[in-house]
Every structure is written in C-alpha cells, then in structure tokens.
Amino acid sequence: MNEIKGFFLVEVIIIIGILSIVLLILAGVFPLGFEAKHKAENYSTMGLLAQSLLEEIERDGYSSLDKKYPENSPGYGEGTGKFKNYPDINWQVEWWQTKIPNLRKIKVRVYGKVEKEGSPQQIEIVTYLANKN
C-alpha cells in the first residue's frame, strides 16, 4: 500500500514540474504580444496622421504647396516638422514637378522614434496633385 502512495507522489511532482515549465514559457510570450500591440497602435496612429497631412495638402491646393514646403532646387521642395499632439512622431513632405506641366508628385512620410531593433517605424504615402487653374 505504501508503494502505491509513493508512486502517486512522484507523479504529482513530475506533473507540477511540467506545468511550471509550461507556465514559464507562456509568461515569456506575453511581453512579445504587448510589444506587437504597441507597434500596431503606432502604425495605426502614424497612418491616420499621414492621411490627415495629405488631405490638408490637397485641401490647400497646388499653389500653396511651394509656400508651405519651399523649393530647395528648381522643381523640388520639402518641409519637416512634428505633430503637436504626438511629440514622438515626425513628418516630412517632399514634392517634385513632374514632366507633365502643372502636375506635382507628393510624398508624405511619417516616422516615429527608433525602436529596440534600431530602425524607426515609418509610413509613406505618395500621390499627385494637379493645378486646377
């Protein structure tokens, strides 16, 4: 009878050991999930900010493009800045005059701070803006 109780105790100790190892592995996965969630939230925010900046450029129109983002060289202009409510997120706007008269290519780039991997999160949106006058 004592042999049966001892064998049961060994089984319980082995099961507790296995469960402990499994729980430690699962606990190590949670920080990765939180990091992925944080990155996804940042990309979503940056996408919305990039879209709103591009909509503002389109609303202001072709003629105000070179006033807000001055020409550095003929047919090319750029500007940079930070978002007021998001101090860790920056923006850059570049525009080029295309070969087609009265048509400019616009690139809006929104990027955040450098993460652990060493490369910043960034989103780029490219569009064209025509002079309607």
Number of domains into which the chain is organized? 1
- Quick one: pLDDT at residue 11? 86
Q: Are the CB atoms for 132 and 58 separated by under 8 Å?
A: no
- Quick one: pLDDT at residue 51? 96
The DSSP annotation for 36-68 comes to HHHHHHHHHHHHHHHHHHHHHHHHH-GGGHHHH
- Decide if pLDDT at 114 tops 70: no
What are the pLDDT digits (tens) for 2-28? Answer: 555 556 888 888 999 999 999 998 888
Average pLDDT for 50-74? 92
The average confidence (pLDDT) of the chain is 88
Q: Residue 98, Cβ neighbours under 10 Å: how many?
A: 13
